[in-house]
């Protein structure tokens, strides 16, 4: 974990969440794009984080998404990432296969 401080005791914590997804309802690249766009749009609107597809572009039912957040506390970062995971899990057509969190 890297925490950057200046003289004014401003603390910056940066986190990255990588989530590998399986989309059972996806039967085409068009359906896949629709599902991922929904996740991206909802995540950006609710949590004000950066999000991008970072892997699995060649398959219909798998994708890897990356989320990045900058905040002033690790606790807040953990809470945001936990809420993102819960939001994805609530979407019935998407299953989280793997997840990894990195604090930089």
Look up residue 53 and give its DSSP letter. Answer: E
4, 52 Cβ separation under 8 angstroms:
no
Radius of gyration from C-alpha coordinates of the chain: 15
CA distances from 12 to 17, 28, 80, 81, 91 (A): 17, 41, 15, 16, 31
CATH for 7-103 is 3.30.70.1120
Residue 50: the pLDDT is 96
pLDDT tens for the chain, 104 residues: list them: 455 555 566 789 999 999 999 998 888 888 899 999 999 999 999 998 999 999 887 788 999 999 999 999 999 999 999 999 999 999 778 999 999 999 98
CA angle at 84 for the pair 78 and 85, rounded to the nearest 5°: 90
Report pTM. Answer: 0.85
- Write down the pLDDT at residue 101: 96
pLDDT in the model for residue 4: 53
């Amino acid at each position: 974990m890297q925490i950057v401080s200046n003289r004014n005791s401003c603390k910056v914590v940066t986190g990255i969440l990588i989530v590998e997804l399986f989309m059972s309802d996806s039967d085409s690249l068009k359906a896949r794009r629709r599902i991922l766009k929904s996740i991206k749009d909802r995540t950006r609107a609710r949590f004000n984080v950066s999000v991008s597809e970072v892997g699995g572009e060649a398959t219909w039912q798998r994708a890897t998404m990356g989320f990045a957040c900058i905040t002033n506390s690790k606790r807040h970062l953990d809470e945001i990432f936990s809420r993102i995971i819960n939001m994805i899990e609530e979407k019935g057509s998407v299953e989280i296969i793997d997840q990894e969190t990195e604090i930089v």
